[in-house]
Amino acid sequence: IANAKDYFGDILSSISVLLGGILIRVTNKSYFDSIASIFVALIIIYMGYDILKPAVSEIMEATDENVAREVEKIINDFDNICNPHQIRVRKLGSYYVVDLHLEFPQDMSVEDAHKIATEVEKKVKEQLNGVLEVIIHIEPCGEG
């Protein structure tokens, strides 16, 4: 797909330059050169944006909403979790890092909450491809 877009951009650029040259020759108006140049520049800007957008999103740690929804579905299968929130999924190369907060009943021991959090981590890694790390912050219900 990337090569097809590249070829399409090359074709559009070549056609605009050729058309600009023909119009200059036929009309003897040199401003067609500027119009063709602006059109080629716009094509380059558009294609550059298409290339940069995913890279900038990764650098800026944009959350992958689809993966975040899948993580939330996995969490909802567990009992005793009151309020999963602040679910963030960031790209790290070809992997994902998941960071989230889980609330547990206030009368639950830290040990039991930790066991459930460990199970959540295990399930997320098993069910979602490419999850490298899951970071879970445990809170009592009503804190988040």
Helix axes 110-127, 65-76, angle to 10 degrees: 130
- As separate numbers, helices (DSSP H) first and strands (DSSP E) second, the chain gives 4, 3
- The pLDDT score that the predictor gives to residue 58 is 66
Of residues 59 and 119, more confidence is placed in 119
Beta strand 95-104 pairing with 85-92:
antiparallel
Side-by-side strand order, sheet with 85-92: 85-92, 95-104, 131-140
- The pLDDT score that the predictor gives to residue 142 is 79
Q: What is the mean pLDDT of residues 84-99?
A: 89
- The pLDDT score that the predictor gives to residue 10 is 85
Domain ranges of the chain: 2-59, 65-140
- pTM comes to 0.61
Out of 24-38, 58-72, 83-97, 107-121, least confident range: 58-72
Q: For residue range 30-85, what is the model confidence (pLDDT) as tens digits? A: 898 999 999 999 988 988 888 788 777 666 666 678 889 999 999 999 988 988 99
- At the topology level, CATH places domain 65-140 in Alpha-Beta Plaits (3.30.70)
d(CA 116, CA 119): 5
Q: What is the mean pLDDT of residues 16-32?
A: 90
